[in-house]
Amino acid sequence: MSKDETPEERRERLRKQLDAFHDWPSAFTFKFVLPNDPARIAQLKDLFGVGAEYAERLSRNGNYISFTIRETLPSAEHVFVRYEAASRIEGIMSL
């Protein structure tokens, strides 16, 4: 994001990039890392539901868990909605 780019301009730029690489509906892959806490994991899985494919991997010491989630979405806007909802989970990192 450049210094002069507003959040709305950034979102529109990212939407154009997504639309250039995906023909919607399309499978989209999300990657997250969060503390290995059952409540937080449940929150994340509730965002995506049963139609998504999940791959999980624990960190070496088991303190964190990484998720690769693949879900078919109807538009780029739904990608933003998923990331915004996930960002409300305490301690989550989006990759």
Look at residue 13 and tell me if it is in a domain. Answer: no
Compute the average pLDDT of residues 38-49. Answer: 94
Look at residue 34 and tell me if it is in a domain. Answer: yes
Look at residue 86 and tell me if it is in a domain. Answer: yes
Residue 74 predicted with pLDDT over 80: yes
Read off the pTM.
0.88
Q: Which domain holds residue 63?
A: 24-94
Long-range contacts (CB closer than 8 Å, 24 or more residues apart) made by 70-74: 70/27, 70/28, 70/29, 70/30, 71/27, 71/28, 71/30, 72/25, 72/26, 72/27, 72/28, 73/24, 73/25, 73/26, 73/27, 73/28, 74/24, 74/25
Give the count of domains, the chain.
1
Look at residue 8 and tell me if it is in a domain. Answer: no
Q: Provide the β-strand partners of residue 94.
A: 32
Look at residue 65 and tell me if it is in a domain. Answer: yes
Whole-angstrom Cα distance, residue 1 to residue 20?
19
* CATH code (residue 86): 3.30.70.260
Q: How confident is the model at residue 31 (pLDDT cuts 50, 70, 90)?
A: very high
